[in-house]
Structure 1
Amino acid sequence: MRGKAMGRMLSGAAFVGLLWTGSAQAQDADTTAPGQAGEQAADAVPDEQLGNMIVVTAQRRSENLQDVPVTVTVFNAEQIAEARIQQIDDVVTRTPGLSFDNFPASQPRLYIRGIGSSDRGAAGDPSSAVFVDDIYMGRPSAIAFDAFDIERIEVLKGPQGTLFGRNVVGGAINVITKKPDIDRVDAAAELTYGNYERLDAAAMINVPFARNTGAVRLSGAYRSHDGYSWNPYLGERIDDQDTLTGRFQIYGEPAYNFRFHFTIDGTRDRFSGPANHTLELDTSDPLHNFYTSNFDPDTTYGSQVGYQDRDTWGIRSELSYDFSFATLTFLGSYRDVDYGNRYDLDGGNPDPASPGYNQIAISGGDDETNELSSQEVRLSSLPDSDFTWVAGFYHYHQETDRSNTFNLDAAAVAPIPLTEIYDQYAKVDSIAVFGDVSLPLTDQLTVFGGVRYSRDDKTARVRNTDSMVPIRGDEFFDVTGDATFDDLTYRAGVEFRPARRHMFYASISRGFKSGGFPDTPANAADAATPFEPETAIQYEIGQKSTFLDGLMIWNNTFYYLDYTNLQTVQIVNGLSVTSNAGKATIKGYETQLDVMPFDGFQLSASYAYTDAKFDEYFEGGQDYSGNTISRAPKHKVTISPSYTYSLLSGIAVTAAVDYRYTSRMFDDNSNQPPEIRDATNFVDARLIIDGIADRFSLSLWGKNLTDERTRTFQGVFLGANFGAFSPPRTYGATLSWEY
């Protein structure tokens, strides 16, 4: 499969080169370079404050955020740089309605408006997904990117599918990189030093060529810091970072109606940890007497350092051709992921003199290789069309080899150390056809809608025959299963504009996530039995308004979600068991306010209310109907004031603060302690001095200034609750240079 995918992509690149030969002179003077679509959109509202003009591609076309009848949270390039948004968890903590499970940190699992999945099995899919430049990252371990040289990050709430490649039920995070610029030579660099011996370096260069009909862009970053936790037993720090990323892009316009964009990127991660802890003891289990609790987030006593290693690279090719009536686009990708992690689950050691003495040692890890490829062909309306539309075909292929290892060393359970290994292989072949249209009926009224048919064919093999004994399961087995899942999804809505700066909309959308096969089944029968697809139907009404000539933006959304057959994951005797719950209802309200009350001062504030409850849910003989869905906090607030003062010398000084509040949430659908995360309050701040020596700026920053240490993961097993904590207070200085 790898050879075929590579061949397709390299053939496409060669085809581009042939098309370009001798055609540079055909370049039309009015051709729009990447990023200029946003400038054209801005020209449509010349009397607006362009500082508040945010261009998004949530509907597969460049639009002002205020013109999109979809709930979207956007972080632009300036916000990403100033707030030091680097990884996916930085996006999560700043987005209303978004939460995550972060164990380990290199495999984040997202929850949007209460919809997510804890399933990491080879034959499972995320309910809320990440796209990088419209390319679907189908595995948690594939979510690897650095936010340096990023144009913006869009968080789309609710079911997606009629516009984006792979269908998801909860929502999507779309990361858009900065594209090559054919009009100018550009370069930038930054250097950061901070506590925990943090050392970051990043650089970018953009060079046009071929008479400004093409450009190359090269960007890279190195991130490192010492471990956040100290392990006295091993004499080492745990939870450090060593990450190297790079991206090479080439963009060209060999003819006035033809464009191509080719990208190759790679990431190398080397993390230690995670630094786990034995937390509350489960007194209902007689094994609880064999553990020692440790609630100090800065100290761990594990008997092994652990690691989270990842090597991933990918290629992306986009070709666009403008006909007289529409634009034809081909989008292809291939990604290779090699991932492995090992961890000390109980966070203790066998030394009776140690404060972290545990008589039961639990450890494990995962090894995983993935090959992901996709091809999309779509035909879309031209920018000057009377109405906008898109239609296309999408194909996604994924092959995953995964090994889950579980180690138990406990004289109280068995006289010798035991090891259990689950080997999994899964192949996913997905196809879809889709179409979407927005049709203005009058100057004030627009209707929109779309439909998508998806079909997923899955093959999965699971075996535990390499285990010493079936510790968690009932028997040895080697089982292969096949299943097909398909569904028709849609969206429909109406948009009404009583005035140019005010828009109201109402929509209904249906999302679908296919079924799959269990990660670590207890026996052969469970291994061969697929879990069913889940669906969500969302009803949403919203309002987007701009006041005071762009000095104030206020958006509001109400939504209601019927969530059916949701795939829930429970840890039963150490096994990750996926099953289908009955039904759930999710109701919510989100509001976003951006205001500039006087020159230099800006305030951004948002609030999300999420009421996510099971209507019907029976698990293990227990009735959980009426319980709150796990990892769905009821309240989330963000407040970000900033003030910029310009000096006569041309230097601008900006002071900014970010405050984030998240109410308590449950880590288990039973809603029982101890798997409850307390409410959290996070505060970040920064002082930015811009215009130093004309091309330099200096940022003094601090994150988590109150040293809030929330639990990012926890789970009860064999007599105790085990968990990990969020990073501590960090601070530093970043020197930036722009050409």
Structure 2
Amino acid sequence: MRLSPLLVPLFGVACLPTIAAAQSSSSSVLLEEVVVTAQRREQSLQDVGLAVNVLTGSNMLENGVTTAEDMSAQVPALEVGGGGGANTTFFVRGVGNFTVNGYSDPATAFNYDDVYLARPTSAKNMFFDIGRVEVLKGPQGTLYGRNATAGAINVIPARPEIGVVDGYVSGSLGNYSSHNVQGAVNLPIGDSSALRISGLSAQHDGYMTDDTSDEDIQAARIQFLTDLSDSLTIRLAADYSNSGGKGSGASYDGHYALNFQTGEYTYVPSGLDDDVGMFDPEAQAYRSQQFFGLSGRTADPLSDKIYLDDTYYGANAEITYTTAAGTLTVIPAYRKSELDNLFASPAFYGFIQEDDEQTSLEVRFASERIGLFDLILGGHYFDETVDGNYTFSQQALAAYQDFESDTESTAFFVDATANITESFRAIAGVRYTSDKKNMDGQADVYLVQCTNFTMFGPSCPDATLLPLTDSADQLGSPFIVPTIPGPFGATPVGTSDAVLTWAPTPNHSSRKSEEVTWRAGIEFDITQDAMLYATYSTGYRSGGFSLAYGFETFEPEYLDAMTLGLKSRLLDNRLQLNLEAFYWEYTDQQIAHTGVDGRGNQGLFVENIGESTNQGLEAEMVFLPTTTTRVNAVVQYLDATYDKFVFTQPIGATPPLTGCDAAITGSVYSIDCSGQDAFQSPEWVVNLGVEQVIPMGDFEWVAKLDTQYKDERVIGFEYLEHDMADSFWRTNASLSFAPTADSWSITAWVHNIEDERQPNTAPVNTGLALGNVVYEAPRTYGLRFDMNF
């Protein structure tokens, strides 16, 4: 089987060139060039002086990548997890957040088909019929739509080709009743136009015993490309997708038992297996033994009602006009998300009803050479409205949030490359950004509080806990909803010794921020096949709002990054060796987390509480020792430590649940996590892979093996015992058979041969002092059939 752009799996590394020469030939075997647009021009990846990794469409297809979470095993610098419901969380080299919502921006910019997607929920259902995915590491303060501190992920779909009739179908069946069918067809329309239609259907049963952590994705995309003249090209695109099923599940890892006399917590493991979901009878029995300190009674079981029904659609255009002076590109876009999901991975319900709507326009001009200079200049306009209705139902507490947030962002940028000599280039870029934001919303928190205290704490065993509802008006008997906030508005809960209290937090705020970000760098061609580069870049993420008392607003965060790199091809283009050293300084860090607000109520908010230094090395190697063998490796070393990480929490009935140092300072606890490892920042990540082609006349066998090692890492905000994930190896293998004509192939594959469930995130329910863990997939295996036509 020849390693075509469709059928070659590029396992184990961030970017693997294909073998360009024929496998059966005795002539020289070469590494194929990979073309990227990371700097808004088409360039060979080896000629780009940036910290960027690339996954080709064959990576995505062969590895069964259908969601953003699947990319973590492919790019050592990237950690992607499920944030509950439709949310996706991104960390790049320790920069990111565990929790996301409709009124905070992600640290990593996600761009689909050159369009910035503001909501992390929108980073779903894009991964089919892909040309490539570019992962840019570090702040993006010049060329990209919205500023981002961690980096950018650019998902670029395969595009129509004029004058070509072709397509493909790929179908896979596996355990957990999985199926993954995707395909595309490219059709010429006359001599100057083309249509490309592609689609995806991916499903599997739940990986947990309660059938959670399943998948049910349906998606389609249509593109029309036309050359109106030799200089004017227009491409129109539209897409639609839906996510269904139950969504992400979790397992009870254990609970933190409080000694009321000493004020210390002891971690008690649950004893449940990793795959026992929270709705499993065994897990429900365990939950019913846990005590709500606030309400003075044990928890009720959870009702198995969780679901996903999230719809995404959009339309965009790309208008390209080429002149003797350069190329003008105009990209208007519209996107809409309609979210309706109920999740329970933190051991309480999150009920999300949200409509997101955004429009954007990017205009940029890439010049032809002007003297020494290549110039890119342009502007970007973005407008978004989020209409959200959230319920966070924790039985002892229910938080209802209704809000509308608006964001308007305008940016202008210029990026210049001075070609000082044939082998030396200087690069400089600057961007001005103006962000305007408005929040109009209110959070209403209702608490069932026990008023009967004993020497062992509160005791209200007969108190009724709060049910899951869409609003407080639906609570019903025995709840009498208070009309006055605070303790004076407390109303009895039936005949028990518990009362219902109400704490409203309105937020009607506006803010504007302006920032100039920039980058500077040099590129030096040591030889024709080796380049040394160095860059310094700055980035910022705008501030915003929260619906939590005392945390209504937060300020922007900033990251400065220095990178020194080498890209090289050796041994007559059979060995690729790329090296990168980086040093990042992160200030005024925004941390989004579930915590205790200024009134002592649990809530979800963002605050500026951190500064960190993130530094390390990454080395990538691809070697073709023979015409039929490829070996690859990527190694990343990361030292990411919080230099300053301090926040406060009101003094309550129980000490704060944290693994950091906590001391009473006046009327609050001061919690100091300084010196801790940054979140999701394993010290070592190693990806290794080997591919062997075995010719058999007119047919070929292709055997592949790849493995990833990931070091210990922190996967939860509180630095508790269950937040610490152990190191692991995860190995995949496949065996393919196909004719050398490359018209079809059949592949047997297995992922996670070790069958170890790797923890991804570790939410905590502070009301019950429960530690939960969300796990990645177990061992999966199956057969795939691919056909080109």
TM-score, normalized by length of structure 2?
Answer: 0.80
**What letter corresponds to residue 136 of structure 1 in structure 2?**
Y
Q: Which has the higher helix share?
A: 1
d(CA) in 2 for partners of 1:91, 1:473: 45
d(CA) in 2 for partners of 1:501, 1:94: 26
Instruction: Choose the corresponding residue for 2:782, options 718, 722, 732.
Output: 732
Instruction: Choose the corresponding residue for 2:551, options 512, 526, 538.
Output: 526
d(CA) in 2 for partners of 1:169, 1:106: 23
| Superimposed CA distance per residue, residues 596-621 of structure 1 (whole angstroms, 9 cap, x where no aligned partner) | 11221111110111111111221120
**Structure 1 range deviating more: 85-94 or 585-594:** 85-94
| Superimposed CA distance per residue, residues 21-70 of structure 1 (whole angstroms, 9 cap, x where no aligned partner) | xxxxxxxxxxxxxxxxxx9xx9xxxx996543111111111111110000
d(CA) in 2 for partners of 1:564, 1:420: 31
1:247 to 2:221 alignment: yes
Instruction: Check whether the contact 1:52–1:551 (CA below 8 A) recurs between aligned residues.
Output: no
Instruction: Choose the corresponding residue for 2:745, options 670, 690, 697.
Output: 697
Instruction: Choose the corresponding residue for 1:388, options 374, 377, 384.
Output: 374
d(CA) in 2 for partners of 1:687, 1:516: 50
Which residue does the alignment assign to 1:437? Answer: 416
RMSD (Å), alpha carbons: 2.6
Give the deviation of 1:586 after TM superposition: 1.0
SS at match of 2:61: helix
| 253 and 142 in structure 1: CA distance in 2 versus 1, 3 angstrom threshold | same
Give the deviation of 1:384 after TM superposition: 9.9
Which residue does the alignment assign to 2:80? Answer: 100
d(CA) in 1 for partners of 2:403, 2:331: 30
Structure 2: segments with no counterpart, 5+ residues: 1-16, 21-26, 280-302, 445-470, 473-480, 487-499, 597-601, 649-669
d(CA) in 2 for partners of 1:342, 1:428: 26
Which residue does the alignment assign to 2:167? Answer: 187
Instruction: Choose the corresponding residue for 1:641, options 687, 690, 697.
Output: 690
**What letter corresponds to residue 231 of structure 2 in structure 1?**
N
**What letter corresponds to residue 404 of structure 2 in structure 1?**
Y
Instruction: Choose the corresponding residue for 2:591, options 565, 568, 572.
Output: 568
d(CA) in 2 for partners of 1:699, 1:86: 18
1:685 to 2:723 alignment: no
SS at match of 2:58: helix
Which residue does the alignment assign to 1:275? Answer: 249
1:548 to 2:525 alignment: no
d(CA) in 2 for partners of 1:309, 1:664: 35
| Superimposed CA distance per residue, residues 64-107 of structure 1 (whole angstroms, 9 cap, x where no aligned partner) | 11100001111112232222222211212211111133232631
Which residue does the alignment assign to 2:454? Answer: none
SS at match of 1:66: helix
**Structure 1 range deviating more: 565-574 or 323-332:** 565-574
Instruction: Check whether the contact 2:38–2:134 (CA below 8 A) recurs between aligned residues.
Output: yes
d(CA) in 1 for partners of 2:385, 2:198: 29
Instruction: Choose the corresponding residue for 2:513, options 474, 485, 505.
Output: 485
d(CA) in 2 for partners of 1:289, 1:306: 31
1:263 to 2:237 alignment: yes
Structure 2 counterparts to residues 454-603 of structure 1, below 5 A: 454-465=433-444, 466-467=471-472, 475-518=503-546, 520-521=547-548, 523=549, 525-527=550-552, 530-573=553-596, 574-603=602-631
d(CA) in 1 for partners of 2:49, 2:250: 43
**What letter corresponds to residue 297 of structure 1 in structure 2?**
D
Give the deviation of 1:684 after TM superposition: 1.1
Instruction: Check whether the contact 1:435–1:452 (CA below 8 A) recurs between aligned residues.
Output: yes
d(CA) in 2 for partners of 1:363, 1:125: 23
Which residue does the alignment assign to 1:13? Answer: none
Give the deviation of 1:559 after TM superposition: 0.9
Instruction: Choose the corresponding residue for 2:182, options 196, 202, 226.
Output: 202
**What letter corresponds to residue 365 of structure 1 in structure 2?**
F
Instruction: Check whether the contact 2:411–2:433 (CA below 8 A) recurs between aligned residues.
Output: yes
| 372 and 294 in structure 1: CA distance in 2 versus 1, 3 angstrom threshold | farther
Give the deviation of 1:692 after TM superposition: 7.8
| Superimposed CA distance per residue, residues 342-383 of structure 1 (whole angstroms, 9 cap, x where no aligned partner) | 123466xxxxxxxxxxxxxx3232221100111011111138
| 290 and 168 in structure 1: CA distance in 2 versus 1, 3 angstrom threshold | closer
**Structure 1 range deviating more: 73-82 or 126-135:** 73-82
Give the deviation of 1:329 after TM superposition: 1.2
Instruction: Choose the corresponding residue for 1:162, options 139, 142, 161.
Output: 142
**What letter corresponds to residue 229 of structure 2 in structure 1?**
A
Instruction: Check whether the contact 1:277–1:293 (CA below 8 A) recurs between aligned residues.
Output: no
| 48 and 330 in structure 1: CA distance in 2 versus 1, 3 angstrom threshold | farther
Instruction: Check whether the contact 1:110–1:129 (CA below 8 A) recurs between aligned residues.
Output: no
After the TM superposition, which parts of structure 1 deviate over 6 Å for at least 4 consecutive aligned residues? 285-292, 469-474
Instruction: Choose the corresponding residue for 1:56, options 17, 21, 36.
Output: 36
d(CA) in 1 for partners of 2:314, 2:432: 27
Give the deviation of 1:341 after TM superposition: 2.0
Which one has a bigger Cα radius of gyration?
A: 2
| 691 and 317 in structure 1: CA distance in 2 versus 1, 3 angstrom threshold | same
**Structure 1 range deviating more: 312-321 or 677-686:** 677-686
Give the deviation of 1:150 after TM superposition: 0.7
**What letter corresponds to residue 274 of structure 1 in structure 2?**
S
Instruction: Check whether the contact 1:278–1:346 (CA below 8 A) recurs between aligned residues.
Output: no
Give the deviation of 1:694 after TM superposition: 5.9
Instruction: Check whether the contact 2:384–2:408 (CA below 8 A) recurs between aligned residues.
Output: yes
How many residue pairs get aligned? The number is 663
Which residue does the alignment assign to 2:394? Answer: 408
Give the deviation of 1:693 after TM superposition: 8.3
Which residue does the alignment assign to 1:707? Answer: 755
| Superimposed CA distance per residue, residues 119-152 of structure 1 (whole angstroms, 9 cap, x where no aligned partner) | 4232211111211111111101111234331111
SS at match of 2:121: helix
1:665 to 2:690 alignment: no
1:219 to 2:198 alignment: yes
d(CA) in 2 for partners of 1:502, 1:455: 39
1:630 to 2:688 alignment: no
| Superimposed CA distance per residue, residues 227-281 of structure 1 (whole angstroms, 9 cap, x where no aligned partner) | 21223xxxxx222222111000000111000011110001111021432222121
TM-score, normalized by length of structure 1?
Answer: 0.85
Give the deviation of 1:571 after TM superposition: 2.2
Structure 2 counterparts to residues 108-119 of structure 1, below 5 A: 108-119=88-99
d(CA) in 1 for partners of 2:90, 2:525: 34
Give the deviation of 1:703 after TM superposition: 1.2
Give the deviation of 1:441 after TM superposition: 0.5
Give the deviation of 1:403 after TM superposition: 2.2
Instruction: Check whether the contact 2:703–2:735 (CA below 8 A) recurs between aligned residues.
Output: yes
Structure 2 counterparts to residues 103-182 of structure 1, below 5 A: 103-104=83-84, 106-182=86-162
Give the deviation of 1:402 after TM superposition: 1.8
d(CA) in 1 for partners of 2:363, 2:346: 49
d(CA) in 1 for partners of 2:722, 2:278: 21
d(CA) in 1 for partners of 2:761, 2:259: 21
Give the deviation of 1:671 after TM superposition: 3.2
**What letter corresponds to residue 169 of structure 2 in structure 1?**
A
| 98 and 301 in structure 1: CA distance in 2 versus 1, 3 angstrom threshold | closer
Instruction: Choose the corresponding residue for 1:420, options 385, 399, 402.
Output: 399
SS at match of 1:503: strand
Give the deviation of 1:289 after TM superposition: 12
Instruction: Check whether the contact 1:601–1:644 (CA below 8 A) recurs between aligned residues.
Output: yes
**What letter corresponds to residue 445 of structure 1 in structure 2?**
F
d(CA) in 2 for partners of 1:371, 1:562: 34
**What letter corresponds to residue 556 of structure 1 in structure 2?**
L
Instruction: Check whether the contact 2:436–2:513 (CA below 8 A) recurs between aligned residues.
Output: yes
SS at match of 1:106: coil
d(CA) in 2 for partners of 1:275, 1:511: 35
| 74 and 346 in structure 1: CA distance in 2 versus 1, 3 angstrom threshold | closer
| 646 and 513 in structure 1: CA distance in 2 versus 1, 3 angstrom threshold | same
| 668 and 230 in structure 1: CA distance in 2 versus 1, 3 angstrom threshold | closer
SS at match of 2:172: strand
